[in-house]
């Protein structure tokens, strides 16, 4: 069930009404109902994988209790390893098994041996596995680091693991934020629900209008890159930057908005990364829940930046490579992570990685300065360059794409594969960037206007945008579902 | 909670009104002319209407239509006389040409190339061969004055029936309910871009839950081939039946067809029985530019230009008797 489908909105309306009108008095029943709804939501994809979620839930619920009650450090560590091995094992089997086998076969063939790849399996990747395994692991890790007291309420914990708004593509929540809300009685709040609806509307706009309308252009350019000049390839990868942003941040907005309807506040996942002034700021604004996860559970335990410069650089390289690998079982993602590490390290060494942590571009001004615009454009160019690896099917394709840019350095007008006017998309993106800049101070309030009339006009224009760019023939699934 | 539901409903309603206004201002939805059945039981458009035909979202194709006094989309009135040369194009929506401004139609393109000929376009969406021959027969006085008649035919679509009768399912589009729904341009626009398909599919899915499921059987290649042959035979019988009912002047009538999608059996039948036809397959095959619109399979300007050229080339070889001195 996709967030941008009619089925989802019918499902959401029914769950919302039952949740607030029938089960509002008893939190345990309310949680049980949300758990049931979440399993139904997930089971609509493939009910068999519900057993994986359930297994991960049971393991971490039990591990959390055991770690908490153990006094010996050795025992605590051993149980932590049980959680890590189980969750990483699930990921390893379902997501990375064929990649490891394939890479091993390739490596052996380089050494001159012909090993047939007979051990590869036909495995379907369970939707959202990378997200919920990280979430359950974070629970055990937090208990191990004594940042959290485990819950005794299994239903609440299972709801935390499988809460449907964020189950399949995040934000990856930590128990200290989400579980504590699940175990607390929720009271209907008009403002919160209203904010939720606005976020859902804005998320749908980003998905339907920005991401989906650009998708056929990006698909065409990446599929036929050998036939296009540099100008078209640069256009293709730049549009992909907008596509993936619209797609994933749109999903996150709908997830956060939906959670708000149930009285739950999820963490922000995107904070206008397109206005980042350097790569470090970009990572403070892009997929925040994953960056936070890696910082808390990988980077800091490795010593973070409190060790020697050399070790810090090593730690940065590790988290970017692991983060790349988390995205997919393909060398393209690992190289993508490596490229980001290469962009991040100079910023870190110059001590500029934290300078934009607590402010947005042109914080108290209407317009950014020329310097800021240059910084934003440079960051966008670097991030977009890395996306060649992120989007390409293979490393060969990625390097072929880049080679084509440098060897066929010419300009030609690009024609939309379906014959649409390209100017429509350029105008759309220009308006989108301007509007995002206008609302850049608060990612959770996309329609923050004092005048009710202006707000109403904005809602209408956003819906009109969806009507103008809706295309029935486009695959409307979300990009991050594949991770 | 009540406040949220009431306010959402109010906003929803107000937004719909504003969207309706915006759709009308930017003319995103198409106008739909009214249709009727005349005294000869010929289905056609109500005379003397005009409006705009819009295809796709963001007005991917926007064109003006003009229904003349005879009930067809054309820039000219149809007044055939003995001392002019007239050619009639009879066919379905491809000839009707709502997808292009009426003053730049196939007929006009032919007239631009052959200035001494007047082209009358009797195009109507959904017309099959029975409709076409019934029309020509019903208005035989008028058509007898016309020097040449080109009949558009698609073998796989236009020979489903061997006798004419009014297609009431098409006229159901004129029901009071449908006319009322069409008054909302927002609804017309949403329907045209497919945004209303998911709710409709959902309703069908819901209904199908209560219906007994039909067993899906796959047909063997032999069976498919047998069915195809039977259909071809039936289409040929229908063709013969229609021309024997309404008559067919082989000297004055010419079929317009695409041999790529026409059965070889039918083509050899036409050859054998000396039926004239214009085949535009080669012209379409030779071009490397798209010949159809983005949003539907109707010919675009280039496609219509090619059709006009094919007809012009054919007509220029004809020796018309008129105009008389």
Answer whether A104 touches B (CB < 8 Å).
Answer: no
Q: Do A456 and B11 touch (CB under 8 A)?
A: yes
Q: Do A459 and B15 touch (CB under 8 A)?
A: yes
Measure Cα distances from B147 to A38, B95, B320 in Å.
Answer: 72, 18, 7
Interatomic CA distance for residues A403 and B268, integer angstroms: 54
Answer whether B193 touches A (CB < 8 Å).
Answer: yes
Q: What pLDDT is stored for residue B301 in this prediction?
A: 92
Read off the pLDDT of residues A74-123 as tens digits, 9 standing for 90 and up.
999 999 999 999 999 988 888 877 777 777 777 777 777 776 656 666 77
Query: A121 CB contacts (<8 Å, ≥6 apart)?
Result: A97, A98
Q: Do B11 and A459 touch (CB under 8 A)?
A: yes
Our CA-based measurement puts residue A63 at a distance from the nearest CA of chain B, in whole angstroms, of 40
Our CA-based measurement puts residue A203 at a distance from the nearest CA of chain B, in whole angstroms, of 18
Answer whether A459 touches B (CB < 8 Å).
Answer: yes
pLDDT band at A408 (very low <50, low <70, confident <90, very high): confident
**Token pair of B196, please?**
């209303």
Chain A, 424 to 443: residues with Cβ < 8 Å from chain B are: 424
Q: Do A460 and B4 touch (CB under 8 A)?
A: no
pLDDT band at B324 (very low <50, low <70, confident <90, very high): very low
Q: What pLDDT is stored for residue B208 in this prediction?
A: 81
Q: Do B57 and A469 touch (CB under 8 A)?
A: yes
Our CA-based measurement puts residue B128 at a distance from the nearest CA of chain A, in whole angstroms, of 29
The count of residues in chain B is: 325
Q: Where are the domains of chain B?
A: 35-183+235-316
Read off the pLDDT of residues B170-214 as tens digits, 9 standing for 90 and up.
888 888 888 888 889 999 999 888 888 888 888 888 888 777 666
Our CA-based measurement puts residue A19 at a distance from the nearest CA of chain B, in whole angstroms, of 12
Weakest-pLDDT range from A96-110, A171-185, A354-368: A96-110
At residue B57, does pLDDT exceed 90?
A: no
pLDDT band at A412 (very low <50, low <70, confident <90, very high): confident
| A69 flagged as catalytic | no
Q: What residues form DSSP beta bridges with B323? A: none
Interatomic CA distance for residues B168 and B286, integer angstroms: 40
State residue B183 phi and psi, 5-degree precision. -70, -25
Q: What pLDDT is stored for residue B214 in this prediction?
A: 64
Q: Does residue A90 have a cis peptide bond before it, meaning omega lies within 30 degrees of 0?
A: no
Q: What pLDDT is stored for residue A456 in this prediction?
A: 93
The reported pTM is 0.86
Chain A and chain B share a number of CB contacts under 8 A equal to 64
Read off the pLDDT of residues A451-469 as tens digits, 9 standing for 90 and up.
999 999 999 999 999 999 9
Read off the pLDDT of residues A208-230 as tens digits, 9 standing for 90 and up.
999 999 999 999 999 999 999 99
- Across the interface, of A20, A197, A460, the residue whose CB is closest to B1 is A20
Written as one string, the DSSP assignment of A164-230 is: GGGTTT-----HHHHHHHHTS-----HHHHHHHHHHHHHHHIIIIIIIHHHHHHHHHHHHTGGGS-H
Task: Name the percent of chain A lying above pLDDT 90.
Answer: 72
ipTM higher than 0.85?
A: no
- Across the interface, of B3, B15, B28, the residue whose CB is closest to A460 is B15
Across chain B, the runs of DSSP E, i.e. the strands, are 35-37, 43-45, 49-55, 61-67, 85-91, 117-123, 148-152, 253-257, 277-279
Answer whether B294 touches A (CB < 8 Å).
Answer: yes
Q: Do B57 and A467 touch (CB under 8 A)?
A: yes
Which residue in chain A has the smallest CA separation from B12? A460
Chain A, 5 to 44: residues with Cβ < 8 Å from chain B are: 5-7, 10, 20-21
Query: Which residues on chain B are in Cβ contact (under 8 Å) with A463?
Result: 15, 19
- Chain centroid to Cα B305, Å, comes to 17
Q: What pLDDT is stored for residue B181 in this prediction?
A: 87
Catalytic residue among A69, A287, A296, A327: A327
Which residue in chain A has the smallest CA separation from B57? A468
Query: B50 CB contacts (<8 Å, ≥6 apart)?
Result: B64, B65, B66, B67
Integer-rounded Cα Rg, in Å, for chain B is 23
> Which fold is adopted by the domain B35-183+235-316?
Rossmann fold (3.40.50)
Read off the pLDDT of residues A189-205 as tens digits, 9 standing for 90 and up.
999 999 999 999 999 99
**Token pair of A51, please?**
């057993």
Is the distance from CB of A23 to CB of A34 less than 8 angstroms?
no
Query: Which residues on chain B are in Cβ contact (under 8 Å) with A425?
Result: none
């Amino acid at each position: 069930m996709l967030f941008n489908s009619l089925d989802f909105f019918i499902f959401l309306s029914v769950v919302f009404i039952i949740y607030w009108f029938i089960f509002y008095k008893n939190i345990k029943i309310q949680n049980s109902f949300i758990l049931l709804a979440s399993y139904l939501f997930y089971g609509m994809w493939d009910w068999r994988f519900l057993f994986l979620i359930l297994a991960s839930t049971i393991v971490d619920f039990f591990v959390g209790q055991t770690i908490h009650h153990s006094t010996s450090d050795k025992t605590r560590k051993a149980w932590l390893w049980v959680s890590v091995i189980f969750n990483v094992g699930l990921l390893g089997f379902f997501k990375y098994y064929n990649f490891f086998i394939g890479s091993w076969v390739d490596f052996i063939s380089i050494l001159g041996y012909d090993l047939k790849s007979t051990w590869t399996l036909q495995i379907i990747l369970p939707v959202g596995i990378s997200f919920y395994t990280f979430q359950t692991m974070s629970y055990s890790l937090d208990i191990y680091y004594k940042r959290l007291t485990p819950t005794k309420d299994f239903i609440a914990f299972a709801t935390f693991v499988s809460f449907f708004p964020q189950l399949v593509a995040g934000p990856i929540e930590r128990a200290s934020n989400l579980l504590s809300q699940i175990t607390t009685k929720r009271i209907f709040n008009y403002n919160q629900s209203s904010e939720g609806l606005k976020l859902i509307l804005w998320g749908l706009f980003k998905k339907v209008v920005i991401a989906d309308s650009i998708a056929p252009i990006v698909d065409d350019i990446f599929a036929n890159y050998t036939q296009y000049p540099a100008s078209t390839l640069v256009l293709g990868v730049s549009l992909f930057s907008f596509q993936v942003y619209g797609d994933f941040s749109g999903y996150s907005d709908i997830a956060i908005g939906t959670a708000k309807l149930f009285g739950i506040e999820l963490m922000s996942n995107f904070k206008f990364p397109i206005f980042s002034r350097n790569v470090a700021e970009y990572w403070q604004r892009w997929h925040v829940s994953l960056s936070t996860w890696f910082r808390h559970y990988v980077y800091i335990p490795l010593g973070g930046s409190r060790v020697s410069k050399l070790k810090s650089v090593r730690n940065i390289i590790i988290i970017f490579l692991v983060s790349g690998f988390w995205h997919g079982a393909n060398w393209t993602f690992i190289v993508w992570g490596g490229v980001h590490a290469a962009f991040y390290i100079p910023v870190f060494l110059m001590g500029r990685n934290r300078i934009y942590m607590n402010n947005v571009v042109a914080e108290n001004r209407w317009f950014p300065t020329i310097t800021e615009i240059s910084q934003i454009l440079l960051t966008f160019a670097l991030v977009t360059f890395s996306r060649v690896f992120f989007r390409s099917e293979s490393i060969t394709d990625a390097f072929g794409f880049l080679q084509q840019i440098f060897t066929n350095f010419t300009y030609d007008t690009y024609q939309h594969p379906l014959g649409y006017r390209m100017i429509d998309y350029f105008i759309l993106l220009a308006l989108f960037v301007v509007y995002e800049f206008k609302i850049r101070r608060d990612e959770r309030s996309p329609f923050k206007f004092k005048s009710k009339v202006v707000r109403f006009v904005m809602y209408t224009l956003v819906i009109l945008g969806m009507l103008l760019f809706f295309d029935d023939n486009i695959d409307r699934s979300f990009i991050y579902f594949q991770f | 909670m009540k406040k949220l539901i009431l306010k959402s409903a109010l906003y929803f309603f107000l937004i719909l009104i504003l969207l309706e206004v915006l759709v009308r201002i930017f003319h995103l939805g198409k106008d739909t002319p009214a249709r009727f059945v005349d005294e000869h039981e010929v289905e056609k458009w109500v005379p003397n209407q005009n409006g705009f035909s819009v295809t796709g979202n963001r007005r991917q194709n926007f064109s003006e239509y003009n229904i003349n006094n005879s009930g067809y989309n054309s820039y000219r009135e149809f007044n055939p006389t003995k001392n002019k040369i007239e050619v009639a194009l009879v066919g379905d929506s491809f000839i009707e040409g709502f997808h292009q401004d009426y003053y730049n139609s196939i007929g006009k393109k032919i007239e631009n190339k052959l200035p001494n000929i007047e082209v009358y376009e009797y195009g109507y969406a959904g017309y099959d061969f029975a409709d076409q021959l019934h029309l020509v027969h019903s208005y035989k006085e008028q058509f007898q004055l016309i020097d040449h008649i080109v009949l558009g035919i698609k073998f796989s679509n236009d020979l489903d029936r061997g006798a004419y009768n009014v297609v009431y399912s098409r006229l159901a589009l004129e029901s009071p309910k449908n006319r009322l729904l069409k008054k909302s341009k927002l609804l017309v626009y949403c329907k045209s871009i497919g945004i209303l398909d998911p709710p409709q599919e959902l309703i069908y899915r819901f209904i199908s839950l209560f219906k007994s499921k039909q067993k899906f059987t796959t047909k063997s290649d032999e069976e498919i081939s047998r069915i195809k042959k039977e259909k071809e035979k039936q289409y040929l019988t229908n063709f013969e039946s229609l021309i024997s009912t309404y008559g067919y002047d082989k000297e004055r009538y010419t079929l317009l067809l695409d041999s790529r999608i026409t059965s070889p059996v039918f083509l050899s039948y036409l050859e054998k029985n000396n039926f004239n036809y214009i085949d535009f397959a080669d012209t379409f095959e030779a071009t490397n530019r798209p010949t159809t619109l983005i949003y539907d399979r109707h010919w675009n300007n280039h496609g219509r230009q090619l059709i006009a050229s094919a007809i012009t080339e054919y007509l220029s070889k004809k020796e018309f008797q008129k105009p008389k001195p």
